[in-house]
Amino acid sequence: MTMNGMQGIVPGYLLARLAESERHSHAAHAARQTLIAGRPTFRAALELSIDANGALVAEVTPAPTRTIFDAQNSEKLPGMIVRGEDDVPVADASVNEAFDGLGATFRMLLDAFDRDSLDGAGAALNATVHYGEDYDNAFWDGQRMVFGDGDGEVFRGFTGSISVIGHELGHGVIQSASGLVYQGQSGALNESIADVFGALTEQHLRQQSADEATWLIGEGIFTDAVQGRALRSMLEPGTAYDDDELGKDPQPGHMRDFVRTEEDNGGVHINSGIPNRAFALAAQAIGGNAWESAGLAWYRALSSGLSTTAGFTEFAERTLAAAADIGSSVEEAIRTAWVTVGVIEDARVRESR
């Protein structure tokens, strides 16, 4: 699979830059191997069983059903089962971190949106750890979360970041709720909404208000050798890292800086910074817990029959429609945020012309 086909938390362009590093020779080799390995084919839909009478069978319970597998540094999925829902913690920290991260995401979805797991019908949550040799990524493969261990030189293991886990499981929610095409603006929207789920999962777990949150995605996955805080900053796109070897975070925060490229599936990891900033600005303007206001509007917009090729403008309009049912102050904050990042025009400016 080519670099452009990757849907992991670490963008292909960042791995490509790392692959050329002379300073981090081990990490460069790991990045090259990660790019070559890619990820398994993305499945188009979650699988649910049908009984003998043709009825959909899905167990709906207010608790997750988690299973953690170990690939034992192979690229064969799912691997061997190492911890189930009723099992006690094991000696492997990656297993326990993955287990806890799945649970944190499940609880956020249930508490904030009354959504029972990724598909809304109690789907089991599965994850595989120790995927590949020094694999520099984590991804959702359509059925499960998959975690690499990182190369240890530039990237740490990925199970330690709640925002990474929430992000990748967020792709499962998006897959079920709207099936946004992973290309161009709809792909950038897909990435951005997954970042929203990642940020909300972390904030919900820590019980942080919008003002208390870091708004960083992937904080802590870089080693101390990297000049960077995280993979992305939702509040300040383009500031997450600035490193001699990895380059500078390329995310724009306004439509005037929208990047037109054939790389990265049309810039899905790059241009996601624009709707990311809109969400963070709206959440901070509203105040309180982001999952109760802006997060609810984003979730309802995603679940409102959104077209699979929706761009930023269509989604912005959906969030405003959803916000109207939440409260006028929420609607105004969201409108102002979308205007600030250049996705929609300020009606007052338009009317004055």
pLDDT of 94-112, one tens digit each? 999 999 999 999 999 999 9
In a domain, 49, yes or no: no
Query: What mean pLDDT is predicted for residues 188-209?
Result: 98
> Token digits for 196?
């929203």
Contact (CB, 8 A) for 211 and 284 = yes
Which residues span the domain enclosing 270? 3-44+58-347
In 3-state terms, what secondary structure has residue 110? helix
What pLDDT sits at residue 27? Answer: 87
Q: In DSSP terms, which residues pair with 199 in a beta bridge?
A: none
State how far the Cα of 101 lies from the Cα of 205, in Å rounded to an integer: 9
Comparing 12-16, 80-84, 100-104, 118-122, the range with the smallest average pLDDT is 12-16
pLDDT at 58: 41
Where are the extended beta strands (E) located within 10-98? 49-50, 56-57, 66-70, 80-84
Known catalytic residue: 269?
yes
CATH code, domain carrying 9? 1.10.390.10
Distances (CA, A) of 340 to 280, 318, 333: 12, 17, 10
Any domain includes 14: yes
Q: What is the pLDDT at residue 60? A: 42
Look at residue 42 in the predicted model and tell me its pLDDT: 37
Mean pLDDT calculated for residue range 126-142:
95
Count up the domains in the chain and report the number.
1
Q: Is residue 353 part of a domain?
A: no
Is residue 29 part of the annotated active site? The answer reads no
Which entry of 153, 168, 191, 202 is annotated as an active-site residue? Answer: 168
Structure-derived torsion over alpha carbons of residues 245, 251, 256, 262, reported in degrees to the nearest 10: 80
**Strand residues in 184-237 grouped as ranges (E):** 216-217, 232-233
Q: Which of 24, 130, 204, 269 is catalytic?
A: 269
| Stronger pLDDT, 163 or 350, i.e. the higher one | 163
The pLDDT > 70 percentage for the chain reads 89
d(CA 125, CA 172): 10
Residue 1 banded pLDDT, cuts 50, 70, 90: very low
Residue 170 falls within a domain, yes or no?
A: yes
| Structural domain contains residue 153 | yes
Q: Rounded to whole angstroms, how far apart are CA atoms 170 and 157?
A: 19
DSSP 128-149: EES-SSS---EEE-SS-EEE--
Query: Once rounded to an integer, what is the mean pLDDT over residues 176-183?
Result: 94
- Whether residue 268 is contained in a domain is answered as yes
Asked whether residue 295 is domain-assigned, the answer is yes
Phi and psi angles of residue 243, each rounded to the nearest 5 degrees, phi first: -125, 145
Instruction: Please check whether residue 80 lies inside any domain of the structure.
Output: yes
Q: Three-state DSSP class for 341?
A: coil
